[in-house]
Amino acid sequence: MKRVDDFRLRFGKREIVPIMIGGMGVDISTAELALEAARLGGIGHISDAMLPTVTDRLYDTDFVKTKLKQYKYNLENSDKTDIKFDLGHIAESTRLHIGKTMEAKRGEGMVFLNCMEKLTMNAPRETLKVRLHEALSAGIDGITLAAGLHLGSFTLMEDHPRFRDAKLGIIVSSLRALQLFLRKNIKTNRLPDYIVVEGPLAGGHLGFGMDWAEYDLRTIVNEIHQYLRDEKIDIPVIPAGGIFTGSDATAFLEEGAAAVQVATRFTVTTECGLPADVLQEYFRASENDIEVNGVSPTGYPMRMLKNSPAIGSGIRPGCESYGYILDANGKCSYIDSYNREVALHPDEKKISVMDKTCLCTHMRNFKLWTCGHYTYKLKDTSHKLADGSYQPLSAEHVFKDYQFSTDNKVALPPQK
């Protein structure tokens, strides 16, 4: 019987264990987690979501404080269009996080960046260009273009000396999205090095509407394989979303996938960035505790635990400190919802906003618990301890379970 370890992802002469840990913002897929994947011969992602605040926390910079000082005058203003990012700060934080991660890399695997393109930062083109260029300059092995698939991103990187040497991939959720991307990028004369096909059971933002349940990963992957064969285009295809066991992964590899991208099982590892108490929420969740809703101001549906403190929170928009979701016109739908509720309840100190959430503040503070569909199975992957909590896993344990397990089994860790 085959297992994941019988397969390899090939990039030129390089052979990689075909397990890719997906990007999880904001710093849920930490450098530690990505470095473990690389050490074990696979691929890990760090995320470039909100890097100035991430580096403040990790490396003691003060980008957020500086920004807040600059825009403090605007705190009471319901209009946030004035708030802009300092491109120098974005560059510095990107260089710092990626530079330090790449310096620490060991092993035969790779570390990629998950670029959350939907963070439009009140100047989509300019800020994205800086993020992508600095990532390449800081030596990242590859970049995965995610959420919001910016059709012009390859063009933005075209003049960088590493444009043809770094691995560049895209995440799509339909054949149509792939075709659109390939058509738009013909003039760069450079195909993506890999295509992550993300189905409707993934965590984070979904590339589907609220009718996500009508789609199926395997069907989309098959359509994309067929199209690539017909067009004689040779690009590794990497399915993602709901691949929970080594056997699930092996089935996709046997059907022609080059690797798999997985994330949910790593949310309960000590290397992942979730605080210890939040990690227990992921373990404890039952199927009924998970929903796909529309509270993200990005406009994409998002899967999350229903008891996430972010849902219904009426916190003041944090744009003076953050402001990553501000679109090209300095707008965010949470600001509109917040202003509406304030106008409706002028005398109330604390308001609730149900239809949207302040994504920046809540993701930054780990108050929005986004998760994959099979989060409710995590409790079966570890031991319940005497105090009712679950034993967190090591990333190595989960990685090797994917790599070597068979028969739909999930190996439990040695009991502590």
Residues lying near ligand FMN in the complex (CB under 6 A) are found at: 22-25, 28, 47, 49, 114, 116, 146-147, 171, 198, 201-204, 240-243, 261-264, 267, 370-372, 374
Mode of pairing for the β-strands spanning 167-172 and 110-116: unpaired
DSSP annotation of 149 reads -
Token pair of 331 as six digits = 């707008």
Shortest Å distance, C-beta 363 to ligand FMN? 9
Rounded distance between C-alpha atoms, residue 62 and residue 44, angstroms: 27
For residue 134, give the nearest of 176, 107, 166 by alpha carbon.
166
Which residues, including other chains, have CB under 8 Å from residue 352's CB and lie 6 or more apart? 312, 313, 314, 341
| Closer CB to ligand FMN, 82 or 248, in the complex | 248
Do the Cβ atoms of 11 and 256 come closer than 8 Å? no
Rounded distance between C-alpha atoms, residue 237 and residue 183, angstroms: 18
Shortest Å distance, C-beta 116 to ligand FMN? 5
Which residue is it, tokens 């913002």? Answer: 25
Shortest Å distance, C-beta 246 to ligand FMN? 13
Shortest Å distance, C-beta 244 to ligand FMN? 7
For residue 79, give the nearest of 359, 336, 293 by alpha carbon.
336
| Closer CB to ligand FMN, 23 or 301, in the complex | 23
Shortest Å distance, C-beta 227 to ligand FMN? 21
Rounded distance between C-alpha atoms, residue 101 and residue 105, angstroms: 6
| Closer CB to ligand FMN, 149 or 315, in the complex | 149
Strands (E), 56-147: 110-116, 142-146
| Closer CB to ligand FMN, 45 or 338, in the complex | 45
| Closer CB to ligand FMN, 148 or 338, in the complex | 148
Shortest Å distance, C-beta 304 to ligand FMN? 9
| Closer CB to ligand FMN, 303 or 320, in the complex | 303
